[in-house]
């Protein structure tokens, strides 16, 4: 691919001057300037996990406040900030970036590429995400966090004069930039950088789901962006997009928000579905049942996801015709979802199942997602939803989908790929304790929400009276939430202990099926000594088990990866052992440009001078980005360089 070829060898800055590219490969500075998709993936994952702990603490505060009627742990104002930030955090700062961690780390490895298509843009996405998250959280010390709910319904979100919801609008805009940029990058990567022979229908299902998610992001985020800009204009510049008294329409915001918000639900769940589709076959030692059907139903979910948004709005008063149409579209989207579940079960059928921690989490995903899916169907029954909407029944539903689904799926991925990423195995025994504690705690926490909701407990209330009769199940739920917290503590202990322990002796501990396991664990900076040539779905499995396929593959030109290359054609450039592989150089400028965004945002709220500073920094970063040397060596002086030799 051109991008990779344009970049130079790992540890060289042939041209100096102010634009000299950084060259270190170790130490914290090398992490700041890295453009390596694996390191960026790890940064995404670590950052998202920190936010997961913060969002979890917020959840515990919510549960403490609601444990008993008339709770006094936090005030009404604090409660409103906490539940808003809990939602924003878990969606935008945990599940999305944790999925992005897997996309970044795994997609190039799974498609047999050396990096993503635009490595510096990848770094920019990470920094914009980090700064967006930090910017949003800085509101806690700058007068109050967003307090209008993650859904930010106008005109409530436009009426408070304090900056709370300004941080919401600007923070989400920044996070939207990060996600859009990353989506374009991954989309191009998957379309263009696949190894020779890897046709679209030889891609691992996880890569397919990644592709669908990037499609959803690219089309859904602009809708949110428009809404947020109009919201911010209403707040700060006196426009009336959502002000009924001045000819605007508050319901317009809801259409914007949910037309983004429902595809967003699939943005949150499809990565986990991809992970589960990778994990189950490995532990059942069978290929995924109905691979094309699973892929096509993922695509169908992605497309249909744009046609169901008004099921968040059944009580808005859209009228019986609109409600009926969205009831039917919502029921229909359950079909491809159900098809996936049946295919996963069929994958296990006739297999040789090994009950390791990743498998348990993957099955936990299926078991919990079934419950979330079934409660979802009851929402599609519109009259029933008139009772359910805005109650804890809904809170139960989406936690079964996003925690029982996404989070369990992501933990399956963490346990499964941890040896690939860290070169060390997490303790399986501790992993099982984590799993059982988490699934019991999860059901104790969120199961009772079904009952509470149907017993009339609305969402987003900071208190309730004893006579409401909700005390018992709320207490059960609070106990459950602390079991979840304990399970996370065990996970952290497991990771810390494992990182201090011995390295894994082998690259393929699970007897896996896909390309990322063909290289070392952890992989070298250039991923593969030779670009693999792909003949099958589950290529690695076929190399290990299919007779006659082993060892007859010709080495591939470094940095290659075009579909039109066929094995045997690319002998010329292969050096082997990583020699002469051109990897992109690190760069300061993704960080510099991304740093312009929060400064610009603070400027909008506090000072025009900061606006200018932010814009200048952004521009300086972009100019530096454009002008810095590509670090490509002159052809005459090129000599093989051992990666990592300069330390």
Site for other proteins in 327-356 (CB under 8 A): 327-328, 331-332, 334-335, 338-339, 341-343, 345-346, 348-355
Site for other proteins in 289-308 (CB under 8 A): 289-293
**How many angstroms separate the CA atoms of 320 and 630, rounded?**
60
Determine, following the binding rule CB under 8 A, whether residue 371 of this chain makes contact with other proteins.
Answer: yes
Q: In whole angstroms, how close is the CB of 443 to other proteins at the nearest point?
A: 6
Determine, following the binding rule CB under 8 A, whether residue 473 of this chain makes contact with other proteins.
Answer: yes
Which DSSP state fits 472? H
- Fill in the per-residue mask, 380 to 409: x = in contact with other proteins (CB under 8 A), - = not in contact: xxxxxxxx-xxx------------------
Residue from 16, 238, 320, 647 touching other proteins (CB under 8 A): that is 320
The angle subtended at Cα 418 by Cα 518 and Cα 88, nearest 5°, is 125
Determine, following the binding rule CB under 8 A, whether residue 237 of this chain makes contact with other proteins.
Answer: no
Nearest to other proteins of 254, 601 (CB atom) = 254
Nearest to other proteins of 199, 354 (CB atom) = 354
Residue from 451, 611, 620, 622 touching other proteins (CB under 8 A): that is 451
**Which of 101-109, 136-144, 304-312, 376-384 is the region at the interface with other proteins (rule: CB under 8 A)?**
376-384
Residue from 22, 24, 469, 633 touching other proteins (CB under 8 A): that is 469
The angle subtended at Cα 164 by Cα 159 and Cα 169, nearest 5°, is 85
HSE toward the beta carbon, residue 465, CA cutoff 13 A: 2
Determine, following the binding rule CB under 8 A, whether residue 496 of this chain makes contact with other proteins.
Answer: no
**Which of 115-123, 148-156, 268-276, 616-624 is the region at the interface with other proteins (rule: CB under 8 A)?**
148-156
* Six-digit token string for 382: 């519109």
The angle subtended at Cα 385 by Cα 220 and Cα 366, nearest 5°, is 65
**568-579 per-residue burial string, b: 16 or more CB within 10 A, e: under 16:** eebeeebeeebe
Which DSSP state fits 478? H
Q: In whole angstroms, how close is the CB of 281 to other proteins at the nearest point?
A: 10
Q: In whole angstroms, how close is the CB of 73 to other proteins at the nearest point?
A: 14
* Six-digit token string for 359: 């498998």
* Six-digit token string for 516: 């990322």
Residue from 42, 223, 284, 591 touching other proteins (CB under 8 A): that is 284
**How many angstroms separate the CA atoms of 556 and 533, rounded?**
8
Site for other proteins in 608-627 (CB under 8 A): none
Nearest to other proteins of 456, 567 (CB atom) = 456
Site for other proteins in 248-267 (CB under 8 A): 249-251
Q: How many residues bind other proteins (CB under 8 A)?
A: 96
Q: In whole angstroms, how close is the CB of 332 to other proteins at the nearest point?
A: 7
* Six-digit token string for 29: 């500075």
Determine, following the binding rule CB under 8 A, whether residue 316 of this chain makes contact with other proteins.
Answer: yes
Determine, following the binding rule CB under 8 A, whether residue 440 of this chain makes contact with other proteins.
Answer: yes
Within 10 angstroms of residue 642's Cβ, the number of other Cβ atoms is 11
Nearest to other proteins of 156, 496 (CB atom) = 156
Question: Per the omega criterion (within 30 degrees of 0), is the bond before 16 cis?
Answer: no
Determine, following the binding rule CB under 8 A, whether residue 51 of this chain makes contact with other proteins.
Answer: no
Q: In whole angstroms, how close is the CB of 99 to other proteins at the nearest point?
A: 24
Determine, following the binding rule CB under 8 A, whether residue 199 of this chain makes contact with other proteins.
Answer: no
Q: In whole angstroms, how close is the CB of 313 to other proteins at the nearest point?
A: 8
Q: In whole angstroms, how close is the CB of 185 to other proteins at the nearest point?
A: 32
Name residue, tokens 């002086």. Answer: 637
Determine, following the binding rule CB under 8 A, whether residue 643 of this chain makes contact with other proteins.
Answer: no
**How many angstroms separate the CA atoms of 14 and 212, rounded?**
40
Site for other proteins in 517-546 (CB under 8 A): 545
Q: Which helix (H) or strand (E) holds 344?
A: helix 320-348
Within 10 angstroms of residue 378's Cβ, the number of other Cβ atoms is 15
Q: In whole angstroms, how close is the CB of 78 to other proteins at the nearest point?
A: 10
Which residues, other chains included, contact 129 with Cβ-Cβ below 8 Å and sequence gap of 6+? 44, 47, 93, 97, 100, 175, 178, 179, 182
Determine, following the binding rule CB under 8 A, whether residue 442 of this chain makes contact with other proteins.
Answer: no
Name residue, tokens 């915001």. Answer: 253
Site for other proteins in 108-147 (CB under 8 A): none
Determine, following the binding rule CB under 8 A, whether residue 323 of this chain makes contact with other proteins.
Answer: yes
Q: At what angle do helices 37-66 and 408-422 cross, to 10 degrees?
A: 140
Q: What value does the CA radius of gyration of the chain take, rounded to a whole number of Å?
A: 25
Determine, following the binding rule CB under 8 A, whether residue 468 of this chain makes contact with other proteins.
Answer: yes
Nearest to other proteins of 142, 316 (CB atom) = 316
Determine, following the binding rule CB under 8 A, whether residue 509 of this chain makes contact with other proteins.
Answer: no
Residue from 64, 218, 377, 507 touching other proteins (CB under 8 A): that is 377
Determine, following the binding rule CB under 8 A, whether residue 443 of this chain makes contact with other proteins.
Answer: yes
**How many angstroms separate the CA atoms of 33 and 30, rounded?**
5
Nearest to other proteins of 22, 338 (CB atom) = 338
Q: In whole angstroms, how close is the CB of 476 to other proteins at the nearest point?
A: 10
Which DSSP state fits 407? I
Nearest to other proteins of 118, 283 (CB atom) = 283
By the 8 A CB rule, do 225 and 175 touch? no
Site for other proteins in 54-83 (CB under 8 A): 75-77, 80
**How many angstroms separate the CA atoms of 170 and 183, rounded?**
20
Site for other proteins in 154-183 (CB under 8 A): 155-156, 159
The angle subtended at Cα 93 by Cα 123 and Cα 141, nearest 5°, is 105
**How many angstroms separate the CA atoms of 351 and 18, rounded?**
59
| H helical segments located in 111-249 | 119-138, 156-159, 164-192, 205-236
Residue from 67, 188, 218, 367 touching other proteins (CB under 8 A): that is 367
Site for other proteins in 569-598 (CB under 8 A): none
Q: Which long-range contacts (CB under 8 A, 24 or more apart) does 419-422 make?
A: 419/504, 419/509, 419/510, 419/521, 420/109, 420/516, 420/517, 420/521, 420/522, 420/523, 421/38, 421/41, 421/42, 421/105, 421/521, 421/522, 422/498, 422/499, 422/522
Determine, following the binding rule CB under 8 A, whether residue 644 of this chain makes contact with other proteins.
Answer: no
* Six-digit token string for 276: 């589960």
Q: In whole angstroms, how close is the CB of 257 to other proteins at the nearest point?
A: 12
Nearest to other proteins of 24, 69 (CB atom) = 69
């Amino acid at each position: 691919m051109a991008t990779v070829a344009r970049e130079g060898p790992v540890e060289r800055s042939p041209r100096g001057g102010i634009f000299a590219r950084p060259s270190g490969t170790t130490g914290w500075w090398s992490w700041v300037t890295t453009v390596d998709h694996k390191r960026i993936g790890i940064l995404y994952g670590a950052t998202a996990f920190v936010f997961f702990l913060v969002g979890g603490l917020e959840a515990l505060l919510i549960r403490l406040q609601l444990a008993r009627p008339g709770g006094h742990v936090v005030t009404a104002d604090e409660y409103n900030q906490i539940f808003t930030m809990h939602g924003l955090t878990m969606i935008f700062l945990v599940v999305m970036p944790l999925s992005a961690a897997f996309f970044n780390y795994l997609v190039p490895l799974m498609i047999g590429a050396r990096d993503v298509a635009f490595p510096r843009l990848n770094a920019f996405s990470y920094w914009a995400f980090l700064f967006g998250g930090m910017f949003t959280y800085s509101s806690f010390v700058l007068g109050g966090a967003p307090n209008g709910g993650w859904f930010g319904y106008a005109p409530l979100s436009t009426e408070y004069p304090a900056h709370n919801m300004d941080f919401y609008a600007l923070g989400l805009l920044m996070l939207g930039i990060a996600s859009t940029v990353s989506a374009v990058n991954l989309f191009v990567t998957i379309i263009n950088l696949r190894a020779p022979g890897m046709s679209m229908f030889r891609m691992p299902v996880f890569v397919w789901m990644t592709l669908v998610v990037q499609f959803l992001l690219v089309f859904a985020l602009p809708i949110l962006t428009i809404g947020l800009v109009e919201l911010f204009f209403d707040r700060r510049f006196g426009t009336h997009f959502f002000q009924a008294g001045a000819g605007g329409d508050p319901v317009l915001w809801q259409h914007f928000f949910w037309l983004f918000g429902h595809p967003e639900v699939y943005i949150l769940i499809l990565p986990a579905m991809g992970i589960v589709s990778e994990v189950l076959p490995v532990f059942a030692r069978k290929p995924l049942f109905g691979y094309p059907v699973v892929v096509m139903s993922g695509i169908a979910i992605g497309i249909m996801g744009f046609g169901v948004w008004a099921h968040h709005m059944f009580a808005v008063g859209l009228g019986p015709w609109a409600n009926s149409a969205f009831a039917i579209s919502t029921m229909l989207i359950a079909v491809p979802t159900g098809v996936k579940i049946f295919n996963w079960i069929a994958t296990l059928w006739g297999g040789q199942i090994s009950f390791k921690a990743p498998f348990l989490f993957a099955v936990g995903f299926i078991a919990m997602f079934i419950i979330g899916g079934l409660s979802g169907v009851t929402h599609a029954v519109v009259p029933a939803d008139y009772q359910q909407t805005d109650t804890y029944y809904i809170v139960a539903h989406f936690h079964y989908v996003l925690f029982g689904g996404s989070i369990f799926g992501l933990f399956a991925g963490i346990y499964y790929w941890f040896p690939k990423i860290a070169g060390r195995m997490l303790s399986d025994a501790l992993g099982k304790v984590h799993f059982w504690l988490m699934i019991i705690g999860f059901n104790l926490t969120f199961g009772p929400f079904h009952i509470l909701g149907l017993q009339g407990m609305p969402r987003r209330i900071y208190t309730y009276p004893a006579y409401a009769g909700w005390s018992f199940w709320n207490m059960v739920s609070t106990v459950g939430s602390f079991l979840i917290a304990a399970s996370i503590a065990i996970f952290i202990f497991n990771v810390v202990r494992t990182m201090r322990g011995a390295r894994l002796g082998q690259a393929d501990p699970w007897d896996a099926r896909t390309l990322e396991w063909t290289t070392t664990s952890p992989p070298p900076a250039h991923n593969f000594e030779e670009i693999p040539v792909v003949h099958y779905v589950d290529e690695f499995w076929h190399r290990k088990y299919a007779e006659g396929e082993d060892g007859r593959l010709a080495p591939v030109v470094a940095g290659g990866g075009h579909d039109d290359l066929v094995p045997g054609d690319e002998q010329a450039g292969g050096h082997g052992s990583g020699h002469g592989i051109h990897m992109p150089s690190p760069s300061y400028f993704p960080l510099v440009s991304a740093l312009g965004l929060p400064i610009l945002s603070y400027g909008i709220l506090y000072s025009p001078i900061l606006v200018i500073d932010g814009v200048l920094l952004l521009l300086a970063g972009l100019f530096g980005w454009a002008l810095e040397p590509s670090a490509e060596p002159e052809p005459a002086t090129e000599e093989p360089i051992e990666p990592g030799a300069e330390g």
